[in-house]
Amino acid sequence: MDTEADLFYRRLPKVELHAHLNGSVSFETMEKLIKQKLHLNIEHSMTAIRSGQRRTLDECFQVFKVIHQLVDSEEDILMVAKDVIQEFAADGVKYLELRSTPREVTETGLTKRRYVETVLEAIRQSKEEEVDIDVRFLVAVDRRHGPEVAMETVKLAEEFMLSSDGMVVGLDLSGDPTVGHGKDLLCALQKAKNCGLKLALHLSEVPSQKDESELLLNLPPDRIGHGTFLHPEAGGSDSLVDKVCKQNTPIELCLTSNVKGQTVSSYNKHHFQYWYNRGHPCVLCTDDKGVFCTDLSQEYQLAASAFGLSQESVWGLSQQAINFTFAPEPIKQRLEKKWAELRPQVL
Ligand code: 6MZ
């Protein structure tokens, strides 16, 4: 049963800005997919990392390969995206920026264009069904696939940005951080920026990305994903921190993901503390709520307990995230109003 404290986090209106679609598939949705594709011989233990379990980052990326086998058609994507949106809404998320890498699958006829259209269709249907959440989409570039694919993806993202009625707002750079180098993707990322797509870039997720982060921070990105190894205490540098601070670039922080993926040794050693204590813009996110078995309420609760945050501070954290969204100004104002209406009299 939920305690009073649990209820506070569940009722807290929240903004989710770093959620990979296929990493966010819940146990229940996975159950449906596994049953539909028994011939693949996939078990739950292959698609999620349970409480107390840890994996290397490399093993986490193997998990995505398994999930991609299960989610390989338009019908799957529609179901998965609708379920994920519904689940975020049920967890009190009022504004969600979902991200996903367009994929093509010859056997099912899935193309990258249909992939994006199907995610947008899921967003549209959720709206028609009056699910209480505003959803936007970031098209993701998987760094593993190199510069040509990155450029193709940017072109696709630009097209949808212009034709999707404001649903496609930006571009994400993600994928296995140990593969490839950001310098090869600069051209595509610059093009995305020039055409008005906002940039949410995974930066310094592993220690070896120092030079790459120096380079990518010059773009500059509009938000940073993880940034685990940017600060000097984690092996980064003052110059990286200076750049991030000068540009005041919000950082998307995903506690459970980093602890389970073992890039951070424990919750109370998470770099949330470094940035939060400096008053730097921080937003708590889930990353992959399905794979890491978490939700956004739990992430707020974990941060509060690891760093002794009061309910007032937690409220402040969730509210300030509105400013870091890629939504247009009127939407931000609408969200501010919602937060004012939902604020408890006593915190
Ligand atoms: C980097 C990640 C990630 O795009 O198929 N992804 N990239 N770091 C992470 N930290 C754990 N978690 C997920 O969702 C799955 C894809 O998102 C990226 C990877 O490219 C992964 O294949 P989509 O919806």
CA dihedral 34, 49, 61, 30 (to 10 degrees): 20
Probe ligand 1: pick from 17, 18, 20, 178, max atoms within 8 Å of CB?
Answer: 20
45-54, 149-158, 202-211, 255-264: which range is least confident on average?
A: 45-54
The phi and psi torsions of 177 (rounded to 5 degrees) equal -70, -10
Residue type, 99: R
The stretch 183-201 carries a mean pLDDT of 98
Averaged pLDDT score across all residues of the chain: 97
The structure tokens 């999930």 sit at: 67
Distance 128 CA to ligand 1 centre (A): 28
Query: Given a cut of 80, is residue 2 above it in pLDDT?
Result: no
The structure tokens 């092996």 sit at: 235
The stretch 247-264 carries a mean pLDDT of 97
Ligand 1 atom showing the smallest separation from residue 60 Cα: 11
Name the band, by pLDDT with cuts 50, 70 and 90, for residue 1: low
Ligand 1 atom showing the smallest separation from residue 68 Cα: 5
Q: Is there a contact between 61 and 20 (Cβ–Cβ < 8 Å)?
A: no
- Ligand 1 pocket residues where CB is under 6 Å: 20-23, 60, 64, 100-101, 140, 142, 174-175, 202, 205, 257, 261, 287-288
| Separation of alpha carbons 240 and 138, rounded Å | 25
Name the band, by pLDDT with cuts 50, 70 and 90, for residue 334: very high
| Separation of alpha carbons 265 and 231, rounded Å | 16
Distance 2 CA to ligand 1 centre (A): 31
**Which active-site residues does the annotation give?**
205
CB count in 10 Å sphere of residue 135 = 24
Name the band, by pLDDT with cuts 50, 70 and 90, for residue 11: very high
Query: Given a cut of 90, is residue 68 above it in pLDDT?
Result: yes
Please state whether the peptide bond connecting residue 220 to the residue before it is cis, i.e. omega within 30 degrees of 0.
Answer: yes
The stretch 22-39 carries a mean pLDDT of 97
The stretch 163-173 carries a mean pLDDT of 97
Distance 226 CA to ligand 1 centre (A): 12
| Separation of alpha carbons 160 and 247, rounded Å | 28
pLDDT value at residue 345: 87
The stretch 260-277 carries a mean pLDDT of 97
